[in-house]
Chain A
Amino acid sequence: MSRSMQFVEALVLPVLALTGALLAFGLFVVGTGRDPVQAWGLLFLGAFGDAFSIQNTLQRAAPLMLTALCVALPARAGLTVIGGEGALVAGALACAALPYLMPLPQGAGGTLLVLVASALAGAGWIALAGWLRQWRGVNETISSLLLAYLAINLFKHVVEGPMRDPASLNKPSTLPLDESIRIGSMGTMDVHWGLVWGLAACVAAFIWLSFTTHGLATRIVGGNRRAAGLIGLPSTALILTACALGGAAAGLAGGIEVAAVHTAANASVIVGLGYTGILVSFVARHHPLAIIPVAILLGGFGAAGSMLQRRMGLPDASVHVLLGFAFVLVLAAECWRGRLRLPRWLSARAALPVPAREGA
């Protein structure tokens, strides 16, 4: 199939799927005795309708871009890692812990140091799952998920124990980060700089995978490990690097949550951003650039759900119904990949003979 056809498909299929999801959601709204047209209108208004809505959507999307990379990068090396939540939590803890361990410079230098600590903690956490697979033969899907539970309990133990700020009586937290280290909003917008980190990480991941030898080698390992071994690629090192980079992204998300939103590490950081990243990455087919619009779409659903509750009194679960429709249809639309037909007079020339298979 031609490249342009592939591109058209990559755009048309998700759009068709989303349209179907919106129609199905309309039926659901009719079922609750409400007006579907009003619901569609509010969905748009809540997600992208005015400046506030757009900022709301982007703000919600920012951490998802980073946690989605934690699934996408290992996936390109052939691993299904679903424990991004663990890396996020480890990153949040490292961000809050660094000031306990060493004096930090004021301002941007301090911010950079806590974020590097977060990224390193996240990288180590997912690399551990990769290491368990390469050396001990432990399935990385299971181990990364279990490591996430471990990280959450470790986090709670440290935050509510040795690192607890004695002043945080009823909401155990660490000592708040110094004011100058915290991450602020971008100019007059009510969106913090985490969005830029998310976008930059997605673009950097795309460049790495598409335009560097190392990225190409990683994709070869992900495509066929035996072939990669035959041509002498160091599979283990490449897999661990992909895991570490993915973990670093999720760890960074945790650090940004602490430095930009919560100001200290506490249980409010653990709200499943890492798990939502799994959805984003799968819908984006593990493509770093596709993660950006998918994360924005998901952020938009969140923002719109808020609006639907306020204006129509729909339950919070209704936006999950829409999400459910959307993901089932996006995945179902994959069946049509490569089967979309242009009108015959156009496609006749493009058709390629199907190679005969031996044995079958």
Chain B
Amino acid sequence: MKQVAIDRRQFVRGSAALGASALVAGVPGLTQAQSPITVGFIYVGPRDDFGYNQAHAESAAALKKMAGVKVLEEENVPETQAVQKSMQGMISQDGATLLFPTSFGYFDPHILSVAPKNAKVRFAHCGGLWTAGKHPANAASYFGYIDEGQYLNGVIAGHMSKSKKLGFIAAKPIPQVLRNINAFTMGARSVDPKITTTVIFTGDWALPVKEAEATNSLADQGVDVFTMHVDSPKVVVETAARRGKFVCGYHADQSKLAPQAYLTGAEWNWITAVTTMVDAARTGKPHPNFVRGGLKDGFIKTSAYGSMVPAGARKQADDIKARMMNGSFDIFAGELKDNTGKVVIAKGTALKQTAVELESMNYLVEGVIGKV
């Protein structure tokens, strides 16, 4: 048992360091007594989807290794009355006091309806919807700036593409998705401004057949590097690999699915945010309502480069990554035009990741072929 205790301490120390470097100032967590806690995770899809849900399930799995933390999980819970019942069940039948309902659609109206009825329970929602004053104080949101990962994907894709045509399979034209498409395209065009990204919106988060069709049709048009923003990138990765094309991953590590085609990927590292929430709950600190971070805060990470990525490409991406880590790199800086020629960010303006304008992005940048 002693062995385990040491492992846990090291783990807590490591995650506390990460947590401290995140937005929440001074969460030492170690000096104070940590009471045992029951934590519930709810996923909208299967937890082994190689995507959105797996990224969250990985943080739940890491949390299970901490002593004194009991983790409950439920998968395939739709964004209906069902999730309200799952949350309430975890609270009243299993004694959970901190919940991670992970799907974007769980917040409004579901968390907003359950949270006020359970004032002593903390809710931490992934997606960034919580607003001070408007939403209950026992709810919170955490999110990461994964467009940094997509920018780096773009840099590698820009080096690997021979046809100069990239493909992006996206679910819906909403701000978070547009931000990723734009970052990916700008990363690629920083390598070669002749590169274009063709985007196809499938219309929903998990439509495997449409995702495969979109990938095939772009491959037919000469696209040779793909990336995506759908809940499970599995289909796009496998289809692109089967067509002999390259692919950059998203959400989680998909390299196992196609090692010969997988260049790199933008992955979530939710354990940082999750540990911040759990530590606060166990030490009785106020619920950290607003938690955000990017690469430098340990909220996101990149997949290891595939063996086919040459040294030059790695170096350029690593250099930009180093600048992102020290905070001297802004993806969305002027002058930036959208793909109709309109200036969307004026010359001399550089938007930090926290900028509110970025949260309501409604354009595709120059070099993207597609329409919002």
Chain A positions near chain B (C-beta within 8 angstroms):
50, 52-53, 56, 59-60, 153, 156, 160, 169-172, 190, 192, 257, 261-263, 266-269, 271, 302-303, 306-307, 309-311, 313, 315-316
Contacts and interface: CB of A to CB of B under 8 A. Distances in A.
B180 to A, nearest CB: 12
Max chain B Cβ within 10 angstroms of own Cβ: one of A60, A172, A268, A311: A268
A271 B80 contact: yes
Contacts of B94: 310-311
B81 A59 contact: yes
For chain B, give the interface size range: 35 or more
Contacts, number: 83
A271 B206 CA distance: 12
Nearest to A311: B94
B85 A316 contact: no
Contact of A310 (B73, B79, B129, B176): B73
Interface stretch (B2-10, B103-111, B299-307): B103-111
Contact of B89 (A52, A262, A269): A52
Given A261-B80, A262-B109, 4 more contacts: A192-B81, A302-B82, A306-B74, A313-B73
Contacts of A156: 203-204
Interface in B328-372: 359-360
B363 to A, nearest CB: 14
A60 B75 contact: no
B76 interface: yes
B209 interface: no
A240 to B, nearest CB: 31
Contacts of A269: 80
Contacts of A313: 73
Contact of B174 (A53, A170, A309): A170
A271 B82 CA distance: 11
B238 to A, nearest CB: 21
A52 B93 contact: yes
B76 A316 contact: yes
Given A307-B93, A311-B94, A170 B85 contact: no
Among A262, A306, A313, the one with the most B-chain Cβ atoms within 10 Å of its Cβ is: A306
B146 interface: no
Contacts of A160: 172
Interface SS of A by simple majority: helix
B46 interface: yes
Contacts of B28: none
A156 B205 CA distance: 13
A171 B174 CA distance: 8
18 contacts: A52-B88, A56-B88, A60-B85, A156-B203, A156-B204, A169-B360, A170-B104, A190-B88, A266-B105, A267-B105, A268-B105, A271-B78, A271-B80, A302-B82, A306-B74, A307-B89, A316-B46, A316-B76
Interface in B60-80: 72-80
B158 to A, nearest CB: 27
B80 A310 contact: no
A318 to B, nearest CB: 11
Q: What are the 6 closest A-B residue pairs judged by CB atoms, nearest first?
A: A268-B79, A316-B76, A271-B78, A56-B85, A170-B174, A310-B72
B316 interface: no
Nearest to A313: B73
Of the candidates B74, B81, B105, B359, the one having the most CB atoms from chain A within 10 angstroms of its own CB is: B81
B82 A60 contact: yes
B228 interface: no
A267 B175 contact: no
A172 B172 contact: yes
A156 to B, nearest CB: 6
Contacts of B127: 170
A45 to B, nearest CB: 8
B89 A310 contact: yes
A310 B81 contact: no
Contacts of A310: 40, 72-74, 89-90, 93-94
